[in-house]
């Protein structure tokens, strides 16, 4: 079954018609929203876990949860880069300094620092938060931190770290 799936997927040029690609999420979903938007990036969060999380955030306002076709290979440095601005216009998986990396708009994104820098150049007003620090923040402090921010990125790698023992 896996061999048949792989052959079919390859013959279709790694595309599934009618399904949003991970590289399209920023432009086709996020960029079209107005007001302050929280972009929750949780490494290794499976779709059913996202459904459960969305259910727990029902008072947070509008929540958009949509399945997408993952960028391959499904490793952190590729998947997280695929969620950045401009990924839909040109996303490549390359070798940079003898390491696997994503490349968007000619910019190699070899690690978290490169991905973060790329986002900040495209969205200078972005506010970044670690999911783990949110419960320790007072509501007033959090409000002050995100006030007026058009994009609030909430990150977590705990799930991935538990599974792999890595935080890249």
* Residue 168, pLDDT above cutoff 60: no
Q: How confident is the model at residue 162 (pLDDT cuts 50, 70, 90)?
A: low
Q: What is the dihedral of CA 129, 95, 28, 38, to 10 degrees?
A: 0
* Residue 25, pLDDT above cutoff 90: yes
Q: How far apart are the first and last CA of the chain?
A: 32
In this prediction, residue 160 carries a pLDDT of 66
* Residue 45, pLDDT above cutoff 90: no
Query: What is the model's pTM?
Result: 0.84
Q: Three-state DSSP class for 81?
A: helix
Average pLDDT, rounded, for the chain: 90
* Residue 157, pLDDT above cutoff 60: yes
pLDDT in tens, 52-65: 988 888 777 888 88
């Amino acid at each position: 079954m896996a061999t048949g799936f792989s052959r079919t997927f390859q013959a279709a040029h790694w595309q599934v018609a009618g399904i949003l690609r991970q590289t399209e999420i920023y432009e086709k979903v996020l960029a079209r929203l107005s007001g302050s938007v929280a972009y929750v990036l949780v490494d290794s969060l499976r779709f059913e876990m996202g459904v459960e999380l969305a259910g727990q955030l029902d008072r947070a306002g509008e929540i958009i949860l949509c399945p997408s076709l993952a960028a391959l290979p499904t490793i952190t440095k590729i998947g997280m880069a695929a969620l950045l601005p401009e990924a839909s216009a040109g996303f490549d998986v390359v070798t940079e300094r003898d390491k696997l990396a994503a490349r968007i708009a000619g910019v190699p994104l070899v690690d978290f620092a490169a991905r973060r820098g790329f986002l900040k150049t495209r969205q200078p007003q972005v506010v970044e938060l670690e999911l783990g620090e949110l419960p320790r923040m007072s509501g007033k402090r959090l409000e002050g931190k995100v006030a007026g921010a058009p994009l609030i990125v909430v990150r977590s790698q705990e799930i991935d770290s538990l599974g792999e023992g890595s935080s890249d």
